[in-house]
Amino acid sequence: MQIRELSIPDAYEITPKQHADDRGLFLEWYRFDRLEETVGHALNLRQGNTSVSKRGSVRGIHFADIPVGQAKYVTATHGAVLDFAIDIRVGSPTYGQWDTVLLDDKDRKAIYVSEALGHCFVSLTDEATVSYLVTDVYNPTREHGINPLDAEIGLRFPEEAGELLLSPKDTEAPGLAEAAAAGLLPTWEAARAFYASLDNGGN
């Protein structure tokens, strides 16, 4: 597989090698050792999630408090979504910026989003099925959201998504500036310190 860092530090696109024959195909969609070589530490996976979404469905922007946070390794097993990694770390050189990876059942790419980054995707097809491996169990007291339509962040949703469908929780979430003013966002310094603790075996 090929692993490429996105324009947002600590987010990566993973492109697996697919082996096809007359029976179908085979691929390794997750390799802990290859990812560890890239990010500097192994992932301590604690939960697996699957979502099935109508075309136009938006899920996010979501993030969790550090420590422990919740890193995510995400792929689409059916259909297609455009996945966003958003830098919400106050003081980061790319604060407020984002990058994307197209996850679909053709190229079968994955995205790795480190702890303290925001995550969001929009479904480009009906029945888009997304599977996530995450490094901590869901904890509603430590989970937060930012409105995915926040103009300051300015996510661009492709036309093929059609009419956007958002949950009340996401539409009622604060914008980036409001979340920062409320002290909800991680800082760049805290994120770097947390990643360093994982690199030293703290995970």
Q: Based on the residue annotation, tell me whether 19 is a catalytic residue of this protein.
A: no
C-alpha distances (whole Å) from 140 to each of 133, 136, 166, 191 are 18, 12, 19, 20
Q: By CB neighbour count within 10 A (0-12 exposed, 13-18 middle, 19+ buried), where does 175 fall?
A: middle
DSSP 177: H
What one-character DSSP code corresponds to residue 17? P
41: annotated active-site residue:
no
Q: How buried is 172 (Cβ within 10 angstroms: 0-12 exposed, 13-18 middle, 19+ buried)?
A: exposed
Of the residues 12, 132, 144, 195, only one is catalytic, namely: 132
Q: Which two tokens stand for residue 167?
A: 């949950």
Give me the catalytic one of 12, 62, 144, 195. Answer: 62
| Spatial CA neighbour of 146 closest among 203, 66, 84 | 84
Tokens of 137: 């169990």
Distances (CA, A) of 122 to 35, 46, 125: 25, 25, 9
Tokens encoding 198 = 């994982």
Instruction: Yes or no: say if 8 and 117 are a contact pair by the CB < 8 Å rule.
Output: yes
Active site residues: 62, 132
